[in-house]
């Protein structure tokens, strides 16, 4: 039995000191909790950053300036060994919302001076008592929508301030039975095996029913939206998505793990696909768009029941030549 409690405590301590950080102190906080060669993978326009100083200067300090009184409302927290590297590394996942008062511009997005929810998910790699690598996705388009700056056409599903798991049991601060995590990872892998082909020869609803409960909930990002039940997921996201792309590459992940009834993965990128038209109102491009994705799952019995998805849509659009944030006054300054 692998003990993840020490790794979990490192991330919980990091969150605790981060909660009291200011734009002026955040660099010291990161320096104390991360390694010297710290790697941080974020969404567009931040992308890949190295070293605590740049992560503090380019991401955290501007965010703490914009979203004052920032607090973390965590819904899911778990740890595990990374299947992708042969279970040689330990990672800790945190997912929920960062909540604050939107008091100053961020990335050129005008402030509302109102309460704002920023969906987030973090994967932290732990080694030698420090965080050595992070993948951190935030749903920036959802923040834009809250600020009245919706950059997208009407989406196929509904986007909301998204809740955590239905049982409110996603915070795995204590140790779990490793057999449960193994079962969750096996179910996720079976789903990936089905999804990765787009060519099982089954009707889409029957394909999904192999690994998903009929009352599944797919908590998609802003621009796509959330769907409930296999039937609505097929008609409101999966079907239109498959119809809008061709030449999808195989799924690639940097980390895939599970603990208890929760698991997930991220890729950099997960896959590429050529837009043949229709997705998010975009015309056919003939170009291969790149998808960076984080997926978090809840297993119920032998099938998946809930899925929280973070797609770096701004990066995907940027690979097609559309920089959404360029339209904002001020934009991103390096």
The domain segmentation of the chain, as residue ranges, is 5-146, 178-326
Q: Give pLDDT, residue 249.
A: 84
Mean pLDDT by 10-residue block, N- to C-terminus, for the chain (334 residues)?
89 97 97 97 97 98 98 98 97 98 96 97 97 97 93 77 95 96 97 74 90 97 93 91 84 95 95 84 82 97 98 92 80 62
Q: Give pLDDT, residue 329.
A: 64
Q: Give pLDDT, residue 108.
A: 94
Residue whose token pair is 């015309």: 283
Would you state the structure tokens that stand for residue 153, as one six-digit string? 């056409």
Q: Give pLDDT, residue 215.
A: 98
Q: Give pLDDT, residue 243.
A: 84
Would you state the structure tokens that stand for residue 296, as one six-digit string? 């978090």
Q: Give pLDDT, residue 287.
A: 85
**5-146 has CATH 3.40.50.300 classification:** no
Q: Give pLDDT, residue 1.
A: 52
Which string of DSSP letters, residue by residue, matches 114-154?
SEEEEEEEEEEEEETTEEEEEEEEE-HHHHHHHTT---SPP
CA-based nearest residue to 14, from 134, 168, 138, 163: 134
**Contact status, residue 294 vs residue 310, Cβ threshold 8 Å:** yes
CA 28 to chain centre: 26
Residue 270 class from Cβ within 10 Å (0-12 exposed, 13-18 middle, 19+ buried)? Answer: buried
Q: Give pLDDT, residue 191.
A: 93
Report pTM: 0.94
Q: Give pLDDT, residue 174.
A: 96
Let me know if the fold of 5-146 is the same as that of 178-326.
yes
CATH topology of domain 178-326: Nuclear Transport Factor 2; Chain: A, (3.10.450)
The string over 163-176, giving b where at least 16 C-beta atoms fall within 10 Å of a residue's C-beta and e elsewhere, is: ebbeeeebbbeeeb
Q: Give pLDDT, residue 81.
A: 98
């Amino acid at each position: 039995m692998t003990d993840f409690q020490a790794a979990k405590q490192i991330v919980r301590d990091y969150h605790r000191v981060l909660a009291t950080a200011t734009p002026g102190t955040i660099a010291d906080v990161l320096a104390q909790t991360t390694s010297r060669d710290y790697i941080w993978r974020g969404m567009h326009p931040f992308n890949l950053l190295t070293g605590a100083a740049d992560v503090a200067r380019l991401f955290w300090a501007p965010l703490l300036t914009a979203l004052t009184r920032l607090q973390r409302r965590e819904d899911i927290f778990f740890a595990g060994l990374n299947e992708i590297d042969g279970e040689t590394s330990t990672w800790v996942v945190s997912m929920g919302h960062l909540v604050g008062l939107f008091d100053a511009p961020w990335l050129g997005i005008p402030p509302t001076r109102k309460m704002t929810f920023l969906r987030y998910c973090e994967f932290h790699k732990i080694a030698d008592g420090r965080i050595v690598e992070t993948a951190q996705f935030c749903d920036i388009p959802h923040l834009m929508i809250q600020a009245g700056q919706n950059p997208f056409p009407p989406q196929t599903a509904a986007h909301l301030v998204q809740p955590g798991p239905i049982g409110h049991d996603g915070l795995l601060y204590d140790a779990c039975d490793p057999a449960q995590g193994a079962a969750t990872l096996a179910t996720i892998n079976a789903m990936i095996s089905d999804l990765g082909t787009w060519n099982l020869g089954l009707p889409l609803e029957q394909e999904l029913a192999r690994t998903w409960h009929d009352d599944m909930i797919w908590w998609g990002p802003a621009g796509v939206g959330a769907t409930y039940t296999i039937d609505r997921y097929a008609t409101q996201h999966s079907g239109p998505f498959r119809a809008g792309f061709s030449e999808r590459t195989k799924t690639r992940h940097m980390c895939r793990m599970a603990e208890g009834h929760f698991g997930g993965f991220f890729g950099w990128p997960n896959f590429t696909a050529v837009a043949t038209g229709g997705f998010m109102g975009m015309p056919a491009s003939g170009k291969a768009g790149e998808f960076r994705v984080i997926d978090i799952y809840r297993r119920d019995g032998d099938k998946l029941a809930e899925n929280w998805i973070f797609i770096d849509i701004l990066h995907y659009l940027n690979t097609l030549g559309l920089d959404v944030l360029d339209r904002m006054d001020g934009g991103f300054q390096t």
